[in-house]
Amino acid sequence: MADGHTISLSVKPNFTEYYLGYFRWTLRRFRRTLIILAAVNIFLAAILLYASNNPSLEFDSAKTIEGMRPWFLFTILAIIIVPLLPFIVARKAVRDPRGENGYKYKFSPDGVEIEGAVGRSVLDWKAFTNAREDSAAFLLFVNREQFHLIPKRCFATMVDISTFREILHEKFPKAKSLRST
């Protein structure tokens, strides 16, 4: 347990941190759809390959491919949108003048204080629905679509990262991707 320890951070995520955070979130959010899309495409490619290499079948490749055009366009659109949406969101976040000077966070077992250019908030941990950790950052979710990005580089020491992780374990015991301490 984090015994009343308060962690103070100055956080100003850069474009890459925002992009990677939103990209990973997008992949997690749409993973089922992307897996189904990949499986269907592999299946269709296998059928096309089999039919084109089997001379006993009457196979009009041009007509078949023409009929599959909407599916292929949908696939191409998905391949473009998945990395593009996080790019747009990250670019918007970096350009937001309210975040120009970054944010100050204070984390304790009692709650979170956030201070930015336009105000200060004191939140109970109940204001957050989940937490995640990856190799570069922590994500504190306000809801399924919105999160606070806390880059690990903003912590003063590895002890602070461990203490923060302990607080998150205590507050979000069902969080799956918090590294064990």
- Find all residues with CB under 8 Å of 179, minimum gap 6, and list them: 133, 165
Report pLDDT for 127: 95
Please give the structure tokens belonging to residue 148: 């606070």
Report pLDDT for 125: 96
Report pLDDT for 68: 77
> How far is the CA of 8 from the CAs of 29, 35, 88, 108, 136, in angstroms?
30, 40, 30, 9, 18
Q: Are 174 and 128 in contact (CB under 8 A)?
A: no
User: Which pLDDT band holds residue 2 (cuts at 50, 70, 90)?
Assistant: very low
Q: Are 142 and 129 in contact (CB under 8 A)?
A: yes
Report pLDDT for 181: 40
State the fold for domain 7-12+99-171: PH-domain like (2.30.29)
User: Which pLDDT band holds residue 4 (cuts at 50, 70, 90)?
Assistant: low
**Which of the two residues, 177 and 164, has the higher pLDDT score?**
164
Tell me the mean pLDDT in the region 23-52. Answer: 87
Nearest to 9 by CA among 131, 142, 112: 112
Q: Where are the domains of the chain?
A: 7-12+99-171, 22-95
**Which of the two residues, 24 and 70, has the higher pLDDT score?**
24
Confidence (pTM): 0.78
